[in-house]
Every structure is written in C-alpha cells, then in structure tokens.
Homo-oligomer: A and B are copies of this chain.
C-alpha cells in the first residue's frame, strides 16, 4: 500500500537518484534552500542529526587529547597570500568583506574558507618552546566557499564543520597524528553512522591546497558514486615556514614545527541519506536518529490505548531511548508512511487487540520486517533491536561497498567498472596525466590509495607503464 502513495511523493530511487535525494531532504524537512545562492537552512530534523554527529565525534576528538577553541570568522586578505598553493586553491571562491556599513575597509577581509592561516598566525605567537608542544586544538565552525554547483549538505556556499589544527615538534609525530585522526573518523563513521569507508592517501593532484599529504575516507553512495567523507592532512612545514611557527628545541636550536589539519562537515548528513536510504525515503541509523522509536496508537480514541502507549513511552524513555507518540488525527496508514519517509528506525503499533494479547507490533525501518514484542519486556527488547539495527545497517552497507569494487587491469575494464557504478581498483603509474585521461573519458577521479598496497596487477591500468601505486577510481560527489 505504501508504495503506491510514495510514487506520488518521492521520485523513484532507481531511475532518478538525484531527484529522489532532493525530494527526500525537502519532504522530510531536513533542510530548505536559503535565499542566497547555494545556501541552506538546516531545519530542526536535519540539525538534530548534526547535533548527534557533533556530540559523538566531539567526544572522540576530546578522548584523543584535543581541546576545542574558537578563532575569528574574518581573515585579513594578506594572510591567505602567505602560502602559495593555499591561496591558489581558495582565492577564487572566497567571500570578501569590503565595507562596514557604507565605509570601505582599508584591507578587505576574507570569510574563512578554512582556518589554517589565521590559526597559524596565532600559533606563531603562542609557541616558543618544545614545552609548548604538541598543540592539539579543534574548532567547530561555519565555513564559506562559493561553489559553482551546489546541493544541500553535499556542497553548499556555507557549511558547518570541525577543523583540527595541530602542531608537533617532529615530522614523525605529526604524521602519526594525521593517521590517528583518519582512524578516529573511520571508526566514528563505522560505529555511529553505520557507514563503511575506504581509507587511504590522496594523489598529489587531489590533495588539499597547502598540504604535503592528504588522507581521506571515501564512502560509496547507493548510485555507486564516491563521497569524500573526511580528510586528514599532513602539512609538513609548509605553514610553519609561511607563518614563522618556530620553537626552541631541547637541543637549544630553533626549529620550524610540523603540522596537521583534519575535518569533516555537514556533508556527512548527505552520506547518511545516500548510503542508507531506500525507495520510501530516509533510513537513519539509531545512534543519530532524532527519534529512535515512534509509537502509533491504533484506534487511538480508546483511552486504554493511549494509556498503554504512554506507559510504553515511559519505559522506553527510562532506558534513554528517544521515543515519541504520534497522537495526531491522521490515519495510521498516513503515519506509517510519514515515519518511514523520515527514517525512524522502529515503529511500535499498539491497538486494543495488542493490549488484550499483551503485545505490540514492532516494525524495523531498515528491513521493513514486522514482529510482535511482549509489552512486559518491550523496552529492553527495543534496546536490543536498536543495537541490532545499527550493526545490520553497517553490514548491509559494507556488503554493498564490497560488491561494488572491481579490480581492473586496463582502460576498457576501468570504463566498464565505472559505467557499472562500481569503484575501480587498479595499479597506477603515479602520473597525473593518467588521472586527467580518466577524468576526461569517464568523468571519474582517483579516490585514494589504500594502506594495503599489495599489487593487484603488473602495469598502470591507464597507460600500461610501470605501476607505482594501487588506487581506487570512481565518480564522485
């Protein structure tokens, strides 16, 4: 029954994934378009997901020894010029404040497109000695980058993120930090968002403007495209030299420090939608679902039904489960559709006959399966079920990812893999000319080079020359 109704509401996920995405995010009230080009409003349902992402990740960032701070939104334009690659990467898309009211500013200000420059400026004042190191600071902030093509969550003129900026005495320690934070992201996505990722190193062409090395985690969307879900950069001494971050080392000499930066953004919400969704709409993993269980009274006019619903609600809440009752006048069928579209992990129906039998009908959003649970032990059982859903959703997504990776040995195989909505895994010569070719021919890019570099072929799949790296290719958001 639901299927028929949904045809009207949400575009078909198989035939028009892009429209399905737009329909889902608007109709579930996750988001709305802002009046300024490329901006979005995160409505309460969408922002609540971000709050769970924030609190879950913030905990992990603090547990690994980092502290939060807050740096200014506005950066003097001259700061951006100090690191050559950095300015080249960001200058064309920065928003520039030139006036206060009608008064022109002496120097234009740039709205932060990322905060390396202003943070490094401050670090050069704060860091004098090896005793001041390491500096392990993170910031939650809004960021502005004027992108040509935008889509809510995935690419917006303004977005929210966290950016870590650390300073170390040695190259070794900074590299260790870079990889540690990549792993923090990977585990967070696995354990809280139920999203499997491919972790690895970006090619020089795809790295962050100003980094020596960029590592990424790449997630596979249901349409086979990749979404870069987080990055961790080893900055080397690029910024410490540009901003004069030097410290007096134990050996009595002054040295330039080694740095990292790393971040994830509100695009993680886009990943959640496109990894787990189905034709009925959102499917949210319990850990970040604003509502984990929705209780729907059947024959809700009967006082004993509502009473029992409230009793169950109290039991669920006492276990810390985010549960609600929908007491509105809408029909049960309408409500089923609504909460399925919103991706609420568990639906609990309670009607007069259920009460008589001492049970409730419980539906899982991820599998669309129904079961009866005894009212006596329902809260504990729902708790167990939520944990199971969280794990099963990861397994399902992981199976999807693994079944959509094809090892390829030549251009033809690479083309077939990409056209088949797979990631291609191949050997690569390391030349950016081959990346350019893949981009031009198949609109795909190198994603990253996995840590396990066991060869999967004898030659670069693109040019046939001596292979240097094993690397993933795919279309990407």
- Is residue A95 within 8 Å, beta carbon to beta carbon, of the partner chain? yes
Q: Are A44 and B67 in contact (CB under 8 A)?
A: yes
Provide the bound-state CA to CA distance between A100 and B91, in Å.
9
**Are A137 and B71 touching (Cβ within 8 A)?**
no
- A74 near B39 with CB under 8 A, answer yes
Residue of B nearest to A143 (CB): B73
Copies in the complex: 2
Q: A47 with B35: in contact, given A96-B97, A99-B98 (CB under 8 Å)? A: no
**Interface check A352, CB cutoff 8 A:** no
Q: In the complex the two chains form, what is the Cα distance from A320 to B69 in whole Å? A: 23
Is A51 an interface residue when CB atoms closer than 8 A count as contact? yes
Does the CB pair A125–B32 fall under 8 Å?
yes
Please state if A68 and B96 are interface contacts (CB–CB under 8 Å). Answer: no
Chain A window 66-88, contacts with chain B (Cβ cutoff 8 Å), 1 for yes, 0 for no: 01111111111001000000000
Q: In the complex, what residues of B have CB within 8 A of residue A158's CB? A: 72-74
B68 touches A51 (CB 8 A): yes
Which partner residue on chain B sits nearest A105 by CB separation?
A: B95
> Are B100 and A94 within 8 A (Cβ)?
yes
Q: A97 is contacted by which of B35, B91, B93, B111 (Cβ under 8 Å)? A: B111
Contact B98 A98 (CB under 8 A): yes
A96 touches B92 (CB 8 A): no
- Which B residues lie within 8 Å of A67 (CB)? 44, 47-48
Does any Cβ of B come within 8 Å of A464's Cβ? no
Question: Can you name the residue of chain B whose Cβ is closest to the Cβ of A78?
Answer: B35
Nearest-CB residue, chain B, relative to A92: B101
Cα A121 to Cα B158 with chains together (Å): 18
Binary flags per residue of A45-70, CB closer than 8 Å to B gives 1, else 0: 00110110000000000000001111
Q: How large is the interface on A (under 10, 10 to 19, 20 to 34, 35 or more residues)?
A: 35 or more
Q: How far is the CB of A357 from chain B (nearest CB, A)?
A: 35
- Segment 93-148 of A: residues with Cβ below 8 Å from B: 93-101, 108-109, 111, 118, 121-122, 125-126, 137, 141-142, 144, 146
A340 to B72, alpha carbons, bound, how many Å? 29
Q: Closest chain B residue to A99 by CB distance?
A: B96
**Interface flag for A34 (CB, 8 Å):** yes
In the complex, which residues of chain B have a beta carbon less than 8 angstroms from the beta carbon of A146? Answer: 100-101
C-beta contact mask, A240-265 vs B, less than 8 Å → 1, else 0?
Answer: 00000000000000000000000000
In the complex, A36 has a CB within 8 A of chain B? yes
**CB atoms of B34 and A118 under 8 A apart:** yes
CB of A157 to closest CB in B, whole Å:
8
Complex partner residue of A100 from B69, B95, B141, CB under 8 angstroms = B95
Contacting pair A160 B74 (CB below 8 A): no
A-B contact pairs, 9 of them (CB 8 A): A36-B109, A44-B67, A73-B142, A74-B95, A74-B144, A93-B101, A94-B100, A96-B101, A142-B142
List 7 additional A-B contacts (Cβ < 8 Å) besides A35-B118, A51-B68, A73-B111. A34-B122, A36-B74, A73-B158, A74-B144, A94-B101, A96-B97, A100-B146
Interface residue ranges, A against B (CB under 8 Å)? 32, 34-36, 39-44, 47-48, 50-51, 67-76, 79, 91-101, 108-109, 111, 118, 121-122, 125-126, 137, 141-142, 144, 146, 157-158, 160
**Closest 3 pairs (CB-CB, A-B):** A44-B67, A39-B72, A42-B70
